Structures are given as structure tokens and as C-alpha cells.
Amino acid sequence: MILKTYREKRNFSRTPEPQPNRLGNSKVPIFVVQKHKATTLHFDFRLEIGGVLKSWAVPKEPTLNSKIKRLAIMTEDHPLEYQNFEGIIPEGNYGAGSVEIWDKGNFLPFSGSINDLELGLKTGHLSIILNGRKLKGEFALTRFKNAKTKNAWLLIKAEDEYSKIDR
């Protein structure tokens, strides 16, 4: 079953979040960043890879500052339909709180084909070009090598014409 963990964490009669129906398949893969005011505020960074939204929780706002490394904790895959989700997850549900779309757009791998993205997830290194309203240009997602922190990645803006050092 696809998205098993996503389903197990949720009761779809009690949350407005989308119930997954099928794998997605956009012509050009999409990314979305959702500002999630749950127990602690964080930014959910999601990339369409392999028909689902691979997801990371980023504790602080993503930045174009190439000197800043943002911690990004990998969380459960979300259905592609989640890209449009905004709303309130009621108290008592997983992730209770408000969700709003902070940024959205398409992305491509920095080199190679979109089929190489799944390999990047396995090897722990993704280099991507984002085309959002706020996030633009090359970013790297790199997994920590320490096995104890296997879900911990770093999200870093690469230096290019979109990178800034003042924010």
C-alpha cells in the first residue's frame, strides 16, 4: 500500500487533509513549502519524487542565504494532492494546527534526469533547481552520515545569481 505511514497517522473522518488515491505524475515535478503552526512552528519542504511528496520538516524558514545550513528532518511521504492543502488540522489529530502554503513551484535536478532523483534519496544527496516565488535557484539536500541521525538532512542554498548573504 502506498503512503502507509501517512494513512496510519491520520483519521480521514477527523482531518481535512487529503486521503491519497493514487500516485501522482506531474509533467515537471513540483515542490511546495507549507508553514505549519503545530506544537512547534516549522516549514514542511516537499519534493515530488516517485509519485509522492518526499517530505522534510525544517524548523526555521528556508532561506536564500547560502551561508546558512537549515536542518531538515525527513518525515513520512505525503500524497501529491497535499501540494494544495491549506487549513486547520483540528486538535487531537496528528499535526494539529494551521497549514498554509509558503512557497510552491516546479523543480528539476541540477544535472541528470528526474529518474536520478530517487537515486539521490538513496545516496543521501540531492542537488536541485527550484523555481518558486520565494525559493529560486540551486539547493542541496544532504543527509547526515551518522547512522543515529539517519533522518537528519541539511538544506543549503548553493551560490548562484539567486543566493543572498543578507537574509
In the complex, minimum distance from the CB of residue 114 to Mn ion, in angstroms, rounded to a whole number:
25
Task: Let me know the angle formed at the C-alpha of 80 by 65 and 35, rounded to the nearest 5 degrees.
Answer: 40
In the complex, minimum distance from the CB of residue 36 to Mn ion, in angstroms, rounded to a whole number:
4
Residue with CB nearest Mn ion?
36
Would you say 9 or 69 has its CB closer to Mn ion?
Answer: 9
In the complex, minimum distance from the CB of residue 43 to Mn ion, in angstroms, rounded to a whole number:
8
Of the ranges 17-25, 39-47, 82-90, 127-135, which one interacts with Mn ion (CB under 5 A)?
39-47
Would you say 10 or 36 has its CB closer to Mn ion?
Answer: 36
Q: Is 106 exposed, middle or buried (0-12, 13-18, 19+ CB in 10 A)?
A: middle
Which one, of 37, 46, 40, 30, lies nearest residue 141 by Cα?
46
Q: Is 17 in the site for Mn ion (CB under 5 A)?
A: no
Would you say 96 or 121 has its CB closer to Mn ion?
Answer: 96
In the complex, minimum distance from the CB of residue 164 to Mn ion, in angstroms, rounded to a whole number:
26
Single residue of 29, 33, 36, 49 touching Mn ion by CB under 5 A: 36
Single residue of 17, 44, 103, 138 touching Mn ion by CB under 5 A: 44
In the complex, minimum distance from the CB of residue 115 to Mn ion, in angstroms, rounded to a whole number:
28
What gap in Å lies between CA 95 and CA 80, rounded to an integer?
A: 18
Which H helix or E strand runs over 127? strand 125-131
What spatial distance separates the first Cα and last Cα of the chain, rounded to whole Å?
42
What gap in Å lies between CA 31 and CA 12, rounded to an integer?
A: 24
What gap in Å lies between CA 80 and CA 54, rounded to an integer?
A: 9
Question: Are residues 102 and 85 in contact, defined by beta-carbon separation less than 8 angstroms?
Answer: no
Instruction: Determine the size of the site formed for Mn ion (CB under 5 A).
Output: 2
Q: List contacts with Mn ion (CB under 5 A).
A: 36, 44
